[in-house]
Amino acid sequence: MKVMGYVRPDGKVGFRNHLLVIPSSVCASEVAMRIASHVEGAIALPNQHGCCQVGADMDLTINTLIGLGKNPNVAAVLVVGLGCEGVPTSKVAEEISKTGKKAEYIIIQHCGGTLRAEEEGARIVRSLAQEVAKLEKEEVDISQITLAIECGGSDTTSGLASNPVAGYVSDKLIDHGGTSMFSETTELIGAEHTLVKRAATKEIGEKILEIVKNCELKAEKMGVDMRGGQPTPGNIEGGISTIEEKSLGCIYKGGTKPIEGVLNYGEAPAGKGLYIMDTPGQDIESITGMTAGGANVVIFTTGRGTPTGSPIVPVIKITGNPETFKHMQDNIDINVGTVVEGKETIQQTGERVFNEMIEVVNGKLTKAEALKHREFGMYKLTSTF
């Protein structure tokens, strides 16, 4: 099966042609947004990170920013640094440019303040925008799709309908040679034993148990019952009683294929097939991690409804709750609540969602894209110093 994508210089395929303005730190975020506002199609990633972080926490921010720039849906990048932050601005641009795409950088302190940085930055981004617009899509194999599957605002219909449907799509994509990943380690707690059985090797099974144990230890160290944070108050109102119930429903989104590896936050899969990424259950941070890992389309299942999109990746939202679809049609792309109503099977709805995914990678805007939903947030390991 063929789809239309942008083949990047490193051979990776994107389905969007974004021009990113990446601030290296919180201190450069405002200037990055102002630069992006001057240029057609430019998108900034304002964030709270990049300064006064240490050790693995700092590395996570640096690697995530690089991964986002490398994402094949991104055509070119300007990195904007203040000049005194921990993130090495020039190194971020240099690492991104190893993919062969244009990645420039400016330093606000070197430019001489907001207005001069804005002018210099806008001039660079304007030039990149002109070049990026010339790129054309070409026919590529469907195996170039790297699907990220996210669930958020879950209720009990998520485990009964939308997650099994997403799992069907993931299985079908993998049958066509593609790659799929799911994440949210918190939402594996209580279901990890069933995933271990699907691990491609014993080591991968052990890694699954390890990430879940580490996640659970965080709640234990805080001395709290996770319930209320996970499941969330909305999950509970939607009928989910415990984290185990949430997890057992969540993992249906990973389909039935063997698990080929466990990725760190923002890490790219080494091969094709199904992967788990170690991320928190918070939707935005989770999607950012999988985007930094190279996902080029997202299927997002929801029960309660959510407007979430992404600055880089088209997010297709599906719900298994027919009432939620009626209430939030501006945000939800596909109603798979027909499964709980007994009107359609998981396979029938799965085919509909698969076809929508093909249309979206070929260029159809998702509702989140059409409404300019570009939620962005990065995971953080510890407090800022």
Partner 1 sequence: MGKQAIVVHESDNVATSLRDLKKGEEVLLEIGDTENKVVLLNDIPFAHKFALKNIDLGENVIKYGEVIGKASKPIKMGEHVHVHNIESTRGRGDLEVDKR
Q: Given the rule CB under 8 A, which residues bind partner 1?
A: 155-157, 159-160, 186, 189-191, 194, 216, 219-227, 230, 236, 238-239, 241-245, 248-249, 303, 321, 323, 340-343
Instruction: Closer to partner 1 by CB, 46 or 337: give it.
Output: 337
Q: How far is the CB of 225 from partner 1 (least distance, A)?
A: 4
Tokens of 318: 């599906």
47 vs 338, which CB is nearer to partner 1? 338
CB of 252 to partner 1, least distance (A): 9
- CB of residue 297 to partner 1, shortest distance in Å: 28
Cis peptide preceding 231, ω within 30 of 0? yes
Nearest CA to 173 out of 277, 275, 69, 291 is that of 275
Least separation in angstroms between CB 325 and partner 1? 13
**Residues sharing a CB contact under 8 Å with residue 369, sequence separation 6 or more, in sequence order:** 309, 314, 315
Name the minimum Å distance from CB 355 to partner 1. Answer: 24
CB of 154 to partner 1, least distance (A): 10
Nearer to partner 1 by C-beta: 102 or 304?
304
Nearer Cβ to partner 1 (131/225):
225
| Closest approach of partner 1 to the CB of residue 159, in Å | 7
Amino acid identity of residue 336, one-letter, is: V
The CB-of-215 to partner 1 minimum distance in angstroms stands at 8
- Rounded to 5°, the CA angle 373-376-378 comes to 165
User: What's the DSSP call for residue 37?
Assistant: H
Instruction: Report in angstroms the alpha-carbon separations of 231 from 206, 211, 319.
Output: 25, 19, 18
**Strand pairing class (2-7; 138-141):** antiparallel
Quote the CA–CA distance of 209 and 141 in Å, as a whole number: 34
Q: Which is nearer to partner 1, 86 or 239 (CB)?
A: 239
Beta partners for 80?
23, 106
- Closer residue to partner 1 in complex, CB, 71/321: 321
116 or 343, CB closer to partner 1? 343
Query: Which residues on neighbouring strands pair with residue 106, listed in sequence order?
Result: 80
> For partner 1, which is the closer residue by CB, 62 or 191?
191
Chain-centre distance for alpha carbon 283: 8
Angle, nearest 10°, between helix axes 55-70 and 283-292?
A: 70
Q: How far apart are CA 10 and CA 102, in angstroms?
A: 12
Closest approach of Cβ 242 to partner 1, in Å? 4
| SS3 call for 352 | helix
- Which of 272, 132, 253, 241 lies closest to 184 in space, CA to CA? 253
Q: What is the largest CA-CA distance in the chain?
A: 64
Helix (H, G, I), strand (E, B) or coil at 138: strand
- Residue 221 or 372: the one with the smaller Cβ distance to partner 1 is 221
Element (DSSP H or E) covering residue 165: helix 163-175
